Structure 1
Amino acid sequence: MTFTERYTWAGLAISVVTFVAYWTVVIVRAGTDGRPLVDVDWQGPMLWSLLLGGGLYAVVMLLLWLRVRGEAHTDERDHEIERHAASTGGGITGLAALAALVMLALNAPAFWTATVLFVGSFLGSLASVGVSLAAYRKGL
Protein backbone atom coordinates (compact mmCIF):
# COMPACT_ATOMS: atom_id res chain seq x y z
CA MET A 1 0.00 0.00 0.00
CA THR A 2 1.49 3.35 -1.02
CA PHE A 3 1.88 6.36 1.24
CA THR A 4 -0.90 8.20 -0.59
CA GLU A 5 -3.29 5.27 -0.28
CA ARG A 6 -2.56 5.00 3.46
CA TYR A 7 -3.34 8.64 4.16
CA THR A 8 -6.45 8.40 1.97
CA TRP A 9 -7.74 5.55 4.17
CA ALA A 10 -6.84 7.52 7.29
CA GLY A 11 -8.64 10.59 5.99
CA LEU A 12 -11.73 8.53 5.23
CA ALA A 13 -11.84 7.09 8.74
CA ILE A 14 -11.29 10.46 10.40
CA SER A 15 -13.90 12.27 8.31
CA VAL A 16 -16.56 9.61 8.83
CA VAL A 17 -15.97 9.59 12.59
CA THR A 18 -16.09 13.39 12.92
CA PHE A 19 -19.14 13.68 10.64
CA VAL A 20 -21.05 11.03 12.61
CA ALA A 21 -19.95 12.56 15.93
CA TYR A 22 -21.22 16.00 14.91
CA TRP A 23 -24.60 14.68 13.83
CA THR A 24 -24.89 12.53 16.94
CA VAL A 25 -24.33 15.55 19.19
CA VAL A 26 -26.78 17.74 17.27
CA ILE A 27 -29.51 15.10 17.08
CA VAL A 28 -29.13 14.16 20.75
CA ARG A 29 -29.32 17.85 21.71
CA ALA A 30 -32.46 18.28 19.63
CA GLY A 31 -34.04 15.19 21.18
CA THR A 32 -33.17 15.97 24.79
CA ASP A 33 -34.08 19.66 24.53
CA GLY A 34 -37.24 18.94 22.56
CA ARG A 35 -36.33 21.62 20.01
CA PRO A 36 -36.14 21.57 16.21
CA LEU A 37 -32.68 21.22 14.65
CA VAL A 38 -32.62 24.89 13.63
CA ASP A 39 -32.87 25.97 17.29
CA VAL A 40 -30.19 23.62 18.64
CA ASP A 41 -26.77 25.04 19.52
CA TRP A 42 -24.92 23.54 16.55
CA GLN A 43 -22.09 26.04 16.05
CA GLY A 44 -19.79 24.69 18.77
CA PRO A 45 -20.07 21.04 17.74
CA MET A 46 -19.49 21.95 14.09
CA LEU A 47 -16.40 24.02 14.88
CA TRP A 48 -15.04 21.32 17.19
CA SER A 49 -15.59 18.60 14.61
CA LEU A 50 -13.79 20.66 11.96
CA LEU A 51 -10.90 21.57 14.27
CA LEU A 52 -10.47 18.13 15.79
CA GLY A 53 -10.92 16.32 12.48
CA GLY A 54 -8.46 18.60 10.70
CA GLY A 55 -5.97 18.47 13.55
CA LEU A 56 -6.17 14.70 13.83
CA TYR A 57 -5.72 14.36 10.07
CA ALA A 58 -2.63 16.60 10.21
CA VAL A 59 -1.13 14.51 13.03
CA VAL A 60 -1.82 11.22 11.24
CA MET A 61 -0.40 12.63 8.00
CA LEU A 62 2.75 13.76 9.83
CA LEU A 63 3.17 10.36 11.49
CA LEU A 64 2.74 8.56 8.18
CA TRP A 65 5.16 10.93 6.51
CA LEU A 66 7.79 10.50 9.23
CA ARG A 67 7.48 6.74 8.86
CA VAL A 68 8.53 6.85 5.21
CA ARG A 69 10.86 9.86 5.18
CA GLY A 70 13.77 9.46 2.87
CA GLU A 71 11.71 7.30 0.50
CA ALA A 72 9.68 8.34 -2.52
CA HIS A 73 6.16 9.17 -1.28
CA THR A 74 4.33 9.35 -4.57
CA ASP A 75 4.76 8.37 -8.16
CA GLU A 76 3.09 9.26 -11.44
CA ARG A 77 0.19 6.88 -10.76
CA ASP A 78 -0.53 8.62 -7.44
CA HIS A 79 -0.60 12.02 -9.14
CA GLU A 80 -2.98 10.77 -11.81
CA ILE A 81 -5.30 9.21 -9.22
CA GLU A 82 -5.28 12.41 -7.14
CA ARG A 83 -6.14 14.47 -10.24
CA HIS A 84 -9.17 12.30 -11.05
CA ALA A 85 -10.29 12.24 -7.42
CA ALA A 86 -9.97 16.01 -7.00
CA SER A 87 -12.06 16.70 -10.09
CA THR A 88 -14.81 14.40 -8.81
CA GLY A 89 -14.92 15.77 -5.27
CA GLY A 90 -14.42 19.36 -6.34
CA GLY A 91 -17.59 19.32 -8.43
CA ILE A 92 -19.73 18.22 -5.50
CA THR A 93 -18.10 20.69 -3.10
CA GLY A 94 -18.54 23.48 -5.65
CA LEU A 95 -22.21 22.62 -6.02
CA ALA A 96 -22.61 22.81 -2.24
CA ALA A 97 -20.92 26.22 -2.19
CA LEU A 98 -23.23 27.46 -4.96
CA ALA A 99 -26.28 26.18 -3.07
CA ALA A 100 -25.06 27.91 0.11
CA LEU A 101 -24.61 31.20 -1.76
CA VAL A 102 -28.14 30.97 -3.10
CA MET A 103 -29.42 30.17 0.39
CA LEU A 104 -27.58 33.21 1.79
CA ALA A 105 -29.11 35.41 -0.91
CA LEU A 106 -32.55 34.10 0.06
CA ASN A 107 -31.91 34.69 3.80
CA ALA A 108 -32.18 31.00 4.69
CA PRO A 109 -31.48 30.14 8.33
CA ALA A 110 -27.77 29.95 9.15
CA PHE A 111 -28.13 26.34 10.36
CA TRP A 112 -29.32 25.11 6.98
CA THR A 113 -26.75 27.13 5.04
CA ALA A 114 -23.92 25.81 7.21
CA THR A 115 -25.36 22.30 6.98
CA VAL A 116 -25.38 22.43 3.19
CA LEU A 117 -21.72 23.46 3.20
CA PHE A 118 -20.77 20.88 5.83
CA VAL A 119 -22.63 17.97 4.23
CA GLY A 120 -21.64 19.03 0.71
CA SER A 121 -17.97 19.19 1.67
CA PHE A 122 -18.22 15.80 3.35
CA LEU A 123 -19.90 14.26 0.30
CA GLY A 124 -17.30 15.84 -1.99
CA SER A 125 -14.53 14.36 0.13
CA LEU A 126 -16.28 11.01 0.23
CA ALA A 127 -16.61 10.96 -3.56
CA SER A 128 -12.97 11.93 -3.94
CA VAL A 129 -11.85 9.19 -1.56
CA GLY A 130 -14.09 6.67 -3.30
CA VAL A 131 -12.54 7.46 -6.68
CA SER A 132 -9.04 7.29 -5.20
CA LEU A 133 -9.51 3.98 -3.45
CA ALA A 134 -11.27 2.43 -6.43
CA ALA A 135 -8.39 3.51 -8.64
CA TYR A 136 -5.85 2.03 -6.25
CA ARG A 137 -7.73 -1.27 -6.16
CA LYS A 138 -8.89 -1.61 -9.76
CA GLY A 139 -6.75 0.89 -11.66
CA LEU A 140 -7.72 3.90 -13.66
Structure 2
Amino acid sequence: MALDEKRAWITAVVSACGYVVYLVIVLSRAAGDVPLADVAYVAPLLWTVGAAIVVTIGIGIATGLASPREAMRTDERDREIDRFGEYVGHSFVVIGGVATLVMAMAETAHFWIANTVYLMFALSAIVGSVARIFAYRRGFQQW
Protein backbone atom coordinates (compact mmCIF):
# COMPACT_ATOMS: atom_id res chain seq x y z
CA MET A 1 0.00 0.00 0.00
CA ALA A 2 1.39 3.39 -0.97
CA LEU A 3 2.12 5.87 1.80
CA ASP A 4 -0.31 8.35 0.23
CA GLU A 5 -3.09 5.78 0.44
CA LYS A 6 -2.26 5.15 4.10
CA ARG A 7 -2.44 8.89 4.73
CA ALA A 8 -5.84 9.01 3.05
CA TRP A 9 -7.07 6.25 5.37
CA ILE A 10 -5.67 8.08 8.39
CA THR A 11 -7.32 11.36 7.42
CA ALA A 12 -10.69 9.74 6.73
CA VAL A 13 -10.79 7.80 9.99
CA VAL A 14 -9.46 10.57 12.25
CA SER A 15 -11.73 13.22 10.69
CA ALA A 16 -14.81 11.04 11.06
CA CYS A 17 -13.96 10.08 14.64
CA GLY A 18 -13.19 13.69 15.59
CA TYR A 19 -16.50 14.92 14.23
CA VAL A 20 -18.43 12.14 15.97
CA VAL A 21 -16.73 12.98 19.28
CA TYR A 22 -17.70 16.63 18.78
CA LEU A 23 -21.32 15.69 18.05
CA VAL A 24 -21.52 13.49 21.12
CA ILE A 25 -20.15 16.26 23.35
CA VAL A 26 -22.44 18.96 21.95
CA LEU A 27 -25.56 16.81 21.86
CA SER A 28 -24.96 15.59 25.41
CA ARG A 29 -24.82 19.21 26.55
CA ALA A 30 -28.18 19.86 24.91
CA ALA A 31 -29.93 17.34 27.11
CA GLY A 32 -32.67 18.80 29.24
CA ASP A 33 -34.10 22.27 28.80
CA VAL A 34 -31.11 23.80 26.98
CA PRO A 35 -31.86 24.60 23.33
CA LEU A 36 -29.25 23.24 20.93
CA ALA A 37 -28.33 26.71 19.66
CA ASP A 38 -27.50 27.82 23.23
CA VAL A 39 -25.07 24.98 23.96
CA ALA A 40 -21.44 25.92 24.61
CA TYR A 41 -19.85 24.60 21.43
CA VAL A 42 -16.73 26.71 20.88
CA ALA A 43 -14.34 24.88 23.22
CA PRO A 44 -15.35 21.37 22.06
CA LEU A 45 -15.10 22.49 18.43
CA LEU A 46 -11.62 23.93 18.89
CA TRP A 47 -10.41 20.96 20.95
CA THR A 48 -11.71 18.32 18.54
CA VAL A 49 -10.35 20.12 15.48
CA GLY A 50 -6.99 20.64 17.19
CA ALA A 51 -6.85 17.05 18.42
CA ALA A 52 -7.75 15.70 14.98
CA ILE A 53 -4.95 17.73 13.40
CA VAL A 54 -2.39 16.60 15.98
CA VAL A 55 -3.48 12.94 15.79
CA THR A 56 -3.47 12.96 11.97
CA ILE A 57 0.02 14.45 11.87
CA GLY A 58 1.31 12.11 14.58
CA ILE A 59 -0.05 8.94 12.99
CA GLY A 60 1.13 10.17 9.58
CA ILE A 61 4.67 10.64 10.89
CA ALA A 62 4.64 7.24 12.62
CA THR A 63 3.34 5.58 9.47
CA GLY A 64 6.00 7.29 7.38
CA LEU A 65 8.74 6.16 9.73
CA ALA A 66 7.43 2.59 9.74
CA SER A 67 7.04 2.39 5.96
CA PRO A 68 9.75 1.00 3.75
CA ARG A 69 11.51 3.37 1.40
CA GLU A 70 9.69 1.95 -1.63
CA ALA A 71 6.31 2.96 -0.19
CA MET A 72 7.42 6.58 0.08
CA ARG A 73 8.01 7.04 -3.62
CA THR A 74 5.39 8.99 -5.49
CA ASP A 75 4.84 9.02 -9.20
CA GLU A 76 2.57 10.82 -11.63
CA ARG A 77 -0.37 8.56 -10.77
CA ASP A 78 -0.04 9.36 -7.05
CA ARG A 79 0.01 13.08 -7.78
CA GLU A 80 -3.07 12.78 -10.01
CA ILE A 81 -4.94 10.80 -7.37
CA ASP A 82 -4.03 13.39 -4.75
CA ARG A 83 -5.23 16.18 -7.03
CA PHE A 84 -8.46 14.29 -7.72
CA GLY A 85 -9.08 13.88 -3.97
CA GLU A 86 -8.42 17.58 -3.42
CA TYR A 87 -10.92 18.54 -6.12
CA VAL A 88 -13.59 16.31 -4.66
CA GLY A 89 -12.93 17.51 -1.11
CA HIS A 90 -12.80 21.18 -2.01
CA SER A 91 -16.29 21.00 -3.48
CA PHE A 92 -17.61 20.58 0.07
CA VAL A 93 -15.65 23.60 1.26
CA VAL A 94 -17.25 25.67 -1.50
CA ILE A 95 -20.73 24.34 -0.70
CA GLY A 96 -20.13 25.12 2.98
CA GLY A 97 -18.90 28.61 2.16
CA VAL A 98 -21.98 29.40 0.12
CA ALA A 99 -24.28 27.87 2.75
CA THR A 100 -22.72 29.85 5.59
CA LEU A 101 -22.77 33.04 3.55
CA VAL A 102 -26.51 32.60 3.05
CA MET A 103 -26.92 31.75 6.73
CA ALA A 104 -25.00 34.87 7.76
CA MET A 105 -27.13 37.07 5.48
CA ALA A 106 -30.23 35.51 7.05
CA GLU A 107 -28.75 36.34 10.48
CA THR A 108 -28.76 32.73 11.60
CA ALA A 109 -27.37 31.99 15.06
CA HIS A 110 -23.59 31.63 15.24
CA PHE A 111 -24.01 28.07 16.50
CA TRP A 112 -25.54 26.93 13.21
CA ILE A 113 -23.05 28.82 11.06
CA ALA A 114 -20.05 27.43 12.95
CA ASN A 115 -21.43 23.91 12.89
CA THR A 116 -22.13 24.10 9.18
CA VAL A 117 -18.55 25.19 8.54
CA TYR A 118 -17.19 22.36 10.72
CA LEU A 119 -19.46 19.79 9.06
CA MET A 120 -18.33 20.86 5.59
CA PHE A 121 -14.65 20.80 6.56
CA ALA A 122 -15.12 17.32 8.03
CA LEU A 123 -16.97 16.15 4.92
CA SER A 124 -14.26 17.68 2.75
CA ALA A 125 -11.58 15.67 4.54
CA ILE A 126 -13.60 12.46 4.67
CA VAL A 127 -15.00 12.50 1.12
CA GLY A 128 -11.71 13.68 -0.38
CA SER A 129 -9.89 10.84 1.38
CA VAL A 130 -12.51 8.31 0.32
CA ALA A 131 -12.12 9.51 -3.28
CA ARG A 132 -8.37 8.94 -3.02
CA ILE A 133 -8.84 5.48 -1.51
CA PHE A 134 -11.36 4.59 -4.20
CA ALA A 135 -8.94 5.76 -6.90
CA TYR A 136 -6.13 3.65 -5.41
CA ARG A 137 -8.32 0.57 -4.97
CA ARG A 138 -10.47 0.67 -8.11
CA GLY A 139 -8.13 2.37 -10.51
CA PHE A 140 -7.86 5.90 -11.72
CA GLN A 141 -8.33 7.13 -15.24
CA GLN A 142 -6.45 10.30 -16.03
CA TRP A 143 -8.27 12.64 -18.34
Fold agreement, TM-score > 0.5: yes
Q: Which residue of 1 aligns with 2:128?
A: 128
Establish whether residue 55 from structure 1 lines up as the match of residue 42 from structure 2: no
Establish whether residue 42 from structure 1 lines up as the match of residue 41 from structure 2: yes
Contact 1:89 1:127 in 2 (8 A): yes
Deviation at 1:70, TM superposition (A): 5.2
Q: Secondary structure at the match of 1:18?
A: helix
Report the Cα distance in structure 1 between the residues aligned to 2:127 and 2:51, rounded to whole angstroms.
Answer: 22
Report the Cα distance in structure 2 between the residues aligned to 1:34 and 1:136, rounded to whole angstroms.
Answer: 48
Q: Secondary structure at the match of 1:88?
A: helix
Per-residue CA distance 1:45-82 (angstroms, 9 max, x = gap): 00000000001111111112223475543221111111
Kindly provide the amino acid, as one letter, of the partner of residue 81 in structure 2: I
What aligned pairs does 1:1-140 form with structure 2 within 5 A after superposition? 1-31=1-31, 33-68=32-67, 71=70, 72-140=72-140
Show structure 2 runs of 5+ residues with no match.
none
Per-residue CA distance 1:11-46 (angstroms, 9 max, x = gap): 111111111000000011101x43111011111100
Which structure would you say has the larger RCO, counting Cα contacts within 8 Å and 6 or more residues apart? Answer: 2
Contact 2:12 2:127 in 1 (8 A): no
Kindly provide the amino acid, as one letter, of the partner of residue 8 in structure 1: A
Report the Cα distance in structure 2 between the residues aligned to 1:117 and 1:89, rounded to whole angstroms.
Answer: 14
Contact 2:86 2:128 in 1 (8 A): yes
Kindly provide the amino acid, as one letter, of the partner of residue 47 in structure 2: W
After the TM superposition, list the runs of 4 or more consecutive aligned residues in structure 1 that deviate by more than 6 angstroms.
Answer: none
Contact 2:81 2:135 in 1 (8 A): yes
- Count matched residues: 139
CA RMSD, 1 decimal: 1.5
Contact 1:4 1:73 in 2 (8 A): no
Kindly provide the amino acid, as one letter, of the partner of residue 95 in structure 2: L
Report the Cα distance in structure 1 between the residues aligned to 2:112 and 2:12, rounded to whole angstroms.
Answer: 24
Deviation at 1:122, TM superposition (A): 1.3
Report the Cα distance in structure 2 between the residues aligned to 1:107 and 1:5, rounded to whole angstroms.
Answer: 41
Q: Percent identity over the alignment?
A: 28
> TM-score, normalised on structure 1?
0.91
